[in-house]
Structure 1
Amino acid sequence: MTGLKEIRKKKHFSQQKVAMDLNISREALSYYENGKREPSISMLIKMSEYFNVSIDYLITGKEFSER
């Protein structure tokens, strides 16, 4: 989930702040960012709304584009 870490850093948010706002542990967020764990669909939606980016962006670091 390269986009998750990227957008968090762009917004200058700490892992602790994001984790508290999303009601998850800092460790869980770290695992998501480093690919050690995959978030549920509902958590992806929650993160997408929180950062105001697409789910595609959270996963790949790129916005969805039509081919």
Structure 2
Amino acid sequence: MKYIQRIRDLREDNDLNQTQVATILHVGQTTYSDYEKGKVRIPIEHLITLAKYYDVNLDYIAGISDIKCKFPKK
């Protein structure tokens, strides 16, 4: 589950704490912490929200690619 490390790294690279990211996702800090620990699977909708927020594509978050491409625009 490479996405767990990726969402943690993206959060830290953007100098955010778990509470701030949890607010973006409209979940509690404990829930977000469980996402990063792998205790709870993060819903795809939240992965999309994070990809948009960090402006990276889902392939990067999922670990399919190591290249940070921008989130695709419509």
| TM-score category of the 2 structures, normalised to the smaller one | 0.7 to 0.9
1:46 maps onto 2:46 in alignment? no
Could you report, residue by residue, the CA deviation over 1:8-45 in whole angstroms, capped at 9, with x for unpaired residues?
00110011111112211111111111111111111111
TM-score of the superposed pair, with normalisation by structure 2: 0.72
TM-score of the superposed pair, with normalisation by structure 1: 0.78
Q: Structure 1 vs Structure 2: percent identity of aligned residues?
A: 27
Rounded Cα–Cα distance in structure 2 between residues aligned with 1:37 and 1:8: 18
Aligned length: 64
Q: Which amino acid in 1 is paired with 2:59?
A: D
Determine the structure 2 residue equivalent to 1:23: 26
Q: Which amino acid in 2 is paired with 1:62?
A: D
1:8-19 alignment, distance < 5 Å: 8-19=11-22
Query: Which of 45, 53, 56 matches 2:59?
Result: 56
Give the match's secondary structure for 2:48: helix
Rounded Cα–Cα distance in structure 1 between residues aligned with 2:11 and 2:20: 10
